[in-house]
Amino acid sequence: MLWSLLKILVFVAIIGLLAMGAGFLMESSGGVQITVAGTEYTLGPLQSAIALGVLVFAVWLFFKLLTLLVATLKFLNGDETALSRYFDRSREKRGYQALADGLMALASGEGRVAMTKANKAEKLLNKPELTNLLVAQAAEMTGDTKKASETYKKLVANNSTRFVGVRGIMKQKLSEGDDETALKLAEKALAIKPRHEETQDVLLNLQTRAQDWAGARSTLNSKLKAGYLPRDVFKRRDAVLALSEAKDILDETASVEQQEHAIEANRLSPDLVPAAAMAARAYIEKGKPRAAAKILKKAWEAQPHPDLAHAFAEAVPDETPEQRIKRFTALTRIHPDNMETRLILAELNIVAEDFPEARRALGDVVEKQGDARAYTLMAAIERGEGASDAVVQGWLAKALNAPRGPQWVCDNCHDIQAEWAPICQNCGSFDTLSWQTPQTPEIASVTGVHMLPLIVGALEDQSEPEAVEEAEEPEDTATEDVIEVHAEPATTEEVRQN
């Protein structure tokens, strides 16, 4: 405050003095008299002011030339950078201008211009950590991967730009499809910058693709610690990884570890169906069927699923069909109207040979959302109730042509997969499989339509019951449907073999 006041006062004083000087010059009639080499010059007031200006410029030029002279003398004395230092200032200015132009060219998508400017800036500035970045980017833009890779290697050599270099090479390896090297580079990059989110994601993706579940879990953990992941998302993904870890242990001696992983996965995410089924089986093996039932009930609450029902059945393997139906009420009363619940109930009743009850359990499922499984069960019920072969075959033919019902579908690419897996086999995304009815009709059913006349024709000829199988053999996709039919309860099998 005081300082600025002082500055203003000094400014006012200078202006005042200048005005006074100007006034004095205007009033003085004689002007300034200068004697040079015996000759006397008399300058008018304005001329004096101009002469002063010229004098100031001459002094500035003199000092400028003097420094150049000193630099030249030093250069002659052996100081080789003395002259270049003298010109460095303007050089630096042009260098930064080239760098700025290069960045601008890069931003406007002119890779070649950016490259030229980068080269110019490199010559003028001699600051490789700055210009190499620009060169690498420009090379990437023009598609000169060789130049880009060379430049990234230069960046790796410098401490301050090592991360950028490693990341650049990592991206190149990724686009080349060399996942193994990319993974090592991602690890290296993360060691330099442990909280770098993008690298964490890349590493996680590569680790899951390489099925390095333990490594992926540790990366996931560092994502949580860095605050990039909500805790519930972390829990779900960690569960998926723990489950994958359990699934991968095939060694018989490691079954205890496998069980622990499955139980942990279920604890982390109780509604993850494959984890619940696997954890339940682990408890059954440990001789704890109650704990298994508890897990399965909880998962069934979230989503009824055939795997859960199968694991539930395994808990007491040697019960009678009637006992099993009774025990299953613990499960089936949770979502009584769910399609899966009704199909399971029908299946259980068919095994118990209580066909009217099975039909009642199915209810309007067949009319409303009939799929291959429901129609196959209907065939079994008709067969059990003593309907004619034509009726039974009619249901089976319908099953062949029907959609397959809910399956593991990738939320990302809508690919249908036979078994749950942590990674989509089609698009490689992580934890995207969910149990749902596919939106697009399956290709298999198209083949089914073509096969129908053949099958029905063969069925009419009762003397050759094996003809069905023979007729289907040439078509791979159709055989899949047959497998589906065979996979249904034993009664279906009896129907076919009749």
Q: Which residues bind Zn ion (CB under 5 A)?
A: 410, 412-413, 415, 424, 426-427
Least distance to Zn ion, CB of residue 241, Å: 18
User: Between 315 and 409, whose beta carbon lies closer to Zn ion?
Assistant: 409
User: Between 206 and 296, whose beta carbon lies closer to Zn ion?
Assistant: 206
Least distance to Zn ion, CB of residue 428, Å: 7
Residue for token digits 């440990």?
286
| Separation CA 347–CA 328 (nearest Å) | 12
Residue 317 φ/ψ, nearest 5 degrees: -75, -25
CA atoms within 13 A on the CB side of 419: 4
DSSP state of 39: E
Other Cβ atoms closer than 10 A to 429 = 15
Least distance to Zn ion, CB of residue 417, Å: 8
Q: Kindly provide the residue ranges of all beta strands, DSSP E only, lying in 37-148, ordered along the sequence.
A: 39-43
Indicate the length of the chain as a whole number.
498
Least distance to Zn ion, CB of residue 306, Å: 22
User: Between 391 and 421, whose beta carbon lies closer to Zn ion?
Assistant: 421
CA atoms within 13 A on the CB side of 57: 6
User: Between 299 and 410, whose beta carbon lies closer to Zn ion?
Assistant: 410
User: Between 280 and 423, whose beta carbon lies closer to Zn ion?
Assistant: 423
| Separation CA 92–CA 124 (nearest Å) | 6
Residue 363 φ/ψ, nearest 5 degrees: 55, -130
User: Between 390 and 443, whose beta carbon lies closer to Zn ion?
Assistant: 443
Other Cβ atoms closer than 10 A to 64 = 10
Least distance to Zn ion, CB of residue 412, Å: 4
Structure tokens at 384: 């059990």
Least distance to Zn ion, CB of residue 369, Å: 25
Using an 8 Å Cβ cutoff, are 284 and 314 in contact? yes
User: Between 361 and 409, whose beta carbon lies closer to Zn ion?
Assistant: 409
Ramachandran assignment for 361, one of left (phi > 0), alpha (psi -120 to 50 degrees), beta (any other)? alpha
Using an 8 Å Cβ cutoff, are 328 and 344 in contact? yes
User: Between 47 and 412, whose beta carbon lies closer to Zn ion?
Assistant: 412
User: Between 95 and 422, whose beta carbon lies closer to Zn ion?
Assistant: 422
Least distance to Zn ion, CB of residue 433, Å: 8
User: Between 126 and 437, whose beta carbon lies closer to Zn ion?
Assistant: 437
Least distance to Zn ion, CB of residue 415, Å: 5
Least distance to Zn ion, CB of residue 416, Å: 10
Q: Kindly provide the residue ranges of all beta strands, DSSP E only, lying in 302-442, ordered along the sequence.
A: 407-410, 416-417, 433-436
Structure tokens at 144: 């000169």
Sign of CA dihedral 187, 249, 278, 295: negative
Cβ neighbours of residue 313 under 8 Å, at least 6 residues apart? 324, 328
Beta bridge partners of 39: 36
User: Between 255 and 412, whose beta carbon lies closer to Zn ion?
Assistant: 412
Structure tokens at 254: 């490691």
Least distance to Zn ion, CB of residue 410, Å: 3
Alpha helices by DSSP H, 352-475:
355-362, 365-369, 372-384, 389-401, 443-460, 467-472
Least distance to Zn ion, CB of residue 323, Å: 42
